[in-house]
Structure 1
Amino acid sequence: MLYNSSRLSQPLQCLVRSHSKSLNRRHTGFSLIELVVGMLVISIAIVMMTSMFFPQADRSVESLHRMRSAELAHSVMNEIWGKRYDQQTNPNGGVPACNTGTPLVPCSSTLGPDGEGRDNYNDVDDYNGLNINSLMFNSSQTYAAIYINFGLSVEVKYVNATTQAAKLISVNVTTPSGEVIKYQAVRSNY
């Protein structure tokens, strides 16, 4: 139906004009192309988030595991480093160290505890064979109780078995994710 605006009254003319403007506004909106482009942009953003941001959580856990492994290895290594070189070495230092001086005192041929308990380890090679289920120094707790799901193994061997002048200390820590991190130090006979 067509309205002749000349015959309508003034208030009715305003109503017709506002109604025709609202009809024009209803026809404005998003076209199909705009909707497809918008969905494409959102899908690219979601892919970027899932590939870049979400894996960061896994990486932060690995960093935490590595930090805890270094903490464990550092505590064990510090304890070992504070002990004398060999059972035959003078506990107060000085001469003669094993395999040196007169009379010649040989170094230990077997590496491992010399019959003493965990709190009485007194030389470097006593720690050979220490593991995650061993008691911590001066404690009734094991390493496994504190470092849950971690692994620990300590190996002490001579760098050169004929001269026995240095021992290689290897502390291997296995993280809960299965990564084995090896920490090593060489202790000389002095």
Structure 2
Amino acid sequence: MLNKLQRHQTLRIKGFTLIELVIGMMVIAIGIVMLTSMLYPQADRAAATLQRVKSAELAHSVMNEIWGKRYDQQTNANGGVPACNSPTGVACSATMGNDGESRDAFNDVDDYHGLSESSIMLDSSQTYADAYPGFTLSVTVNYLDTTTQAEKLITVDVTTPSNEVITYQAVRSNY
């Protein structure tokens, strides 16, 4: 009799009951749901972050190129003469935009007004759309104050593939 009781107790210790199995599966299911609900949104955020980094890269390259050019067509590229619209200088250009130069010959800030993703990149046969597929680019250049024409606002709008418009701006002074 004692032998049967010992065998019965050892069998009980070795296994799980149906209730324990069901509870265990529910705990695992809840854990998996919580894990996936936290991980999947992270993947979307990672893609958006990558697009923002590429947007900044594109805008930075265009802004650096613009920043290296002279203020106005009427300003001497090598200095030595007064800046346009200064008391002893000539008048600044009245219109913004390309003065008829080819893309590689842009020589002042306002030549970049109207630059877009379909424009050819500097010293290249490739367009911005080729180098940054899915991104759109729009560059505008305006005077901050049209009466003094002493500063130009450069605005670079980059639209990511997820249609997020990111605006980058810089002010260039007439010095």
Q: Is 1:66 the equivalent of 2:62?
A: no
Q: Kindly name which structure, 1 or 2, has the bigger radius of gyration based on alpha carbons.
A: 1
Partner residue in 2 for 1:160: 145
Q: Is 1:179 the equivalent of 2:138?
A: no
Q: Is 1:149 the equivalent of 2:171?
A: no
* 1:35 CA displacement: 2.4
TM-score with structure 1 setting the length: 0.84
C-alpha distance in 2 between matches for 1:49 and 1:177: 26
Match of 1:112 among 75, 92, 97: 97
* Counterpart code for 2:63: M
Task: Give secondary structure in 2 for the equivalent of 1:111.
Answer: coil
Kept after mapping to 2: 8 A contact 1:172/1:182: yes
C-alpha distance in 2 between matches for 1:31 and 1:94: 93
TM-score with structure 2 setting the length: 0.91
Partner residue in 1 for 2:119: 134
C-alpha distance in 2 between matches for 1:94 and 1:188: 17
C-alpha distance in 2 between matches for 1:90 and 1:28: 92
Structure 1: stretches of 5+ with no match in the other structure: 4-16
C-alpha distance in 2 between matches for 1:31 and 1:64: 50
**Bigger shift: 164-173 or 57-66?**
57-66
Structure 2: stretches of 5+ with no match in the other structure: none
C-alpha distance in 2 between matches for 1:49 and 1:26: 34
* 1:31 CA displacement: 2.4
1:37–1:94 distance in 2 versus 1, CA, 3 Å:
farther
Partner residue in 2 for 1:121: 106
Cα RMSD, aligned residues only: 2.0
Partner residue in 2 for 1:45: 31
Q: Is 1:98 the equivalent of 2:90?
A: no
Partner residue in 2 for 1:14: none
* 1:38 CA displacement: 1.1
C-alpha distance in 2 between matches for 1:173 and 1:43: 43
C-alpha distance in 1 between matches for 2:125 and 2:66: 19
